[in-house]
Amino acid sequence: MKRAVFWLVAVLLLVGLQMQLGNWIGPYYYKIVILAGIYIILAVSLNLINGITGQFSIGHAGFYAVGAYTSASLVTYGESSIRGMVEFLPRIGQDAVLLLLGILAAAIAAGIAGLAVGIPSLRLRGDYLAIVTLGFGEIIRVVILNVDAVGGARGFSSIPALSDFFFFWVFLFVLITVSVIRNVVNSSYGRAFISIRDDEIAAEAMGVDTTRFKVLSFVISSMFAGIAGSLFGHYTAYLNPNSFTFITSFYLIIMIVVGGLGSIEGSILGAILITLVLELFRSLSEFRLVGFSILLVLVMLYRPQGLMGVWELLRLKRRTVAAKS
């Protein structure tokens, strides 16, 4: 009951904000808010592998790309037939159906990609895993670069523009991502993930099927990256393989580490902070990234545990509750 009320209020609030936000802050900041939302989904999902399961993946951009391209091609090539099936709906409803189908397809495709990458690579440890996930991410990008149906190196530009209800959709999926990941972390699965992070051998000795749980965490994380990709592709209505290089994965890693690895609040904070810093100072061109990189080095030297670090408000509370019971 409480949960239903929460979601109802959230949906109403988002619809209301969607109506007004553009007028309040103007198109430029509206775009930044949407990008921040997409990065929150990416960062929170990457945090599940890197921060909570302790597996070091730097190939997240690959799954982001799989989602973006799957959804964009489904909607581009299936637009007329899907619209035909839901003809009775108004335009905005048809767009919603298209977007949701795209998101579903993106999540499934990215999940399958995650499974295909995860099974062979999660036998590796530490830096070997890191470089293999990075490699898979790059392989995915090069493959997309060579598929002509999605525009190849020219970029995918014929994606139909959906009516702009994106603030609502992006932040609805931010809420869904955060609550799903939080629930996963708090479930028995989550405890298995954390046990793998803290001590893989001990976890295995206690009967945790480490390979299965690592792959599972990888697949869940990839699915949400796919969802973020789908939202990104339909929002910009243009995709280019260059948006999905390993540099993108690096930025995601930076977000979760600056926020505080393993903390969901930290990932959200990191995603918002880094998106803002990178987007707001875009006019400064190279100066922006020089300043950004120096600040990054200094944050890591003076506060290596990230901004949130151990001060994870909600987790702290839960832990004390768990200790009492």
Among 29, 30, 56, 311, binds another protein (CB under 8 A): 56
For position 201 contacting another protein by CB under 8 A, the verdict is: yes
Closer to another protein by CB, 78 or 309: give it: 309
Q: In the bound complex, what is the minimum distance in angstroms from residue 9's beta carbon to another protein?
A: 37
Among 3, 286, 321, 324, binds another protein (CB under 8 A): 286
- Which of 219, 48, 59, 200 shows the shortest CA–CA distance to 139? 59
For Cα atoms 107, 35, 229, give the angle at the middle one, nearest 5 degrees. 20
Among 127, 188, 322, 325, binds another protein (CB under 8 A): 127
| Lookup: tokens for 243 | 């948006």
For position 250 contacting another protein by CB under 8 A, the verdict is: yes
The piece of 4-12, 135-143, 174-182, 268-276 that touches another protein (CB under 8 A) is 135-143
Among 21, 35, 106, 132, binds another protein (CB under 8 A): 132
The piece of 7-15, 75-83, 214-222, 291-299 that touches another protein (CB under 8 A) is 291-299
Phi, psi of 29 (to 5 degrees): -70, -30
Q: In the bound complex, what is the minimum distance in angstroms from residue 128's beta carbon to another protein?
A: 6
Q: Which residues contact 312 (CB under 8 A, 6 or more apart)?
A: 260, 263, 264, 265, 266
Among 26, 287, 314, 317, binds another protein (CB under 8 A): 287
Among 89, 280, 298, 310, binds another protein (CB under 8 A): 298
- 307 touches 299 (CB < 8 A): yes
- d(CA 110, CA 120) in angstroms, rounded, equals 16
- 165 touches 95 (CB < 8 A): yes
Closer to another protein by CB, 179 or 305: give it: 305
Among 16, 26, 90, 291, binds another protein (CB under 8 A): 291
Q: In the bound complex, what is the minimum distance in angstroms from residue 305's beta carbon to another protein?
A: 7
Q: In the bound complex, what is the minimum distance in angstroms from residue 120's beta carbon to another protein?
A: 6
CA distances 59 to 133, 169, 193, 219, Å, are 5, 25, 19, 13
Closer to another protein by CB, 201 or 321: give it: 201
Closer to another protein by CB, 238 or 292: give it: 292
CA distances 147 to 73, 77, 141, 179, Å, are 12, 15, 10, 36
Buried b (16+ CB within 10 A) or exposed e, 271-306: bbebbebbbeeeeeeeebeeebeeebeeeeeeeeeb
- Interface with another protein by CB under 8 A: which residues? 56, 120-121, 123-125, 127-128, 130-132, 134-136, 138-139, 142-143, 145-146, 201, 246, 250, 253-254, 257-258, 261, 284, 286-287, 289-298, 300-305
